[in-house]
Structure 1
Amino acid sequence: MKGTLMQSVVRPVLLAALLAAGASVFARGVLYVARPAIALSVSERTAARQQRVEFTVTLPDGKTTTATAEPQAGGERAGTVHYPSDFGNAGTRIGNYTWSARIAGKEVQAGRFAFRAAPDGQLLFVPN
């Protein structure tokens, strides 16, 4: 019983890790490629309307790239941007990244993430 429970937990986690690492998977004759990505969203809990949020990501080489999250549902919900797809000159290189969120020019949140090489050569997303 213990081995069965462990297998049922490990297999989905392993599959999710492989997909997140950019592994290619064949399913019913279709090639599916998953790439590492991060969704960024900031909301003001007490605000009647959510505001536009500008996100800046600093790449490992020190260059920066920006994207703007527009409020959704008439301002009722915060917008979301995805790194790297919503950032024009972005990439997924191995290294450490930082991000900051600004509303009306004022920094309201910041964070970090990284991309690391896996032993099998795939790229892993590592939240910090």
Structure 2
Amino acid sequence: MSSPATPPGGVPCIDADKAGEKGASVGGVRAGPFGAYLRQQRGGVAKLWVAQDPGKGPADALIRVEHVESGTIAYFVRDAAATATTVNDDGKPSGDTIYPGAILLPRDGHVRITISIGRASGCFAYTL
């Protein structure tokens, strides 16, 4: 796994509190779900899928979760070989490839989830 890609102006970050239930996209990466679902986890293990913008080659995903108040940082790696293709409501493949899995979250506070997949990097700021 190579170190996270950082755009010249830094990693672009969005407020995921406003992302809705399905997810959000920034800096060439997508992640979700956010909204009430993630808040209901109340810390500990939480499901979080990440994805690369379509049309890019496979690459490992590096997820960095920072608890802003304490400065605690945890890293999670998703293997490119472990990606899954989502299906539409009719059961047919959508063509959207995600990296499914779980992360550990603090019980409350603010987190910054930075995701790097290949040359793409994005940050999702979220309040628990």
Question: What's the TM-score once normalised by structure 2's chain length?
Answer: 0.47
- Structure index of larger Rg: 1
Structure number with higher helix proportion: 1
Give the structure, 1 or 2, with the largest relative contact order (CA under 8 Å, sep 6 or more).
Answer: 2
Question: What's the TM-score once normalised by structure 1's chain length?
Answer: 0.47
Structure number with higher strand proportion: 2
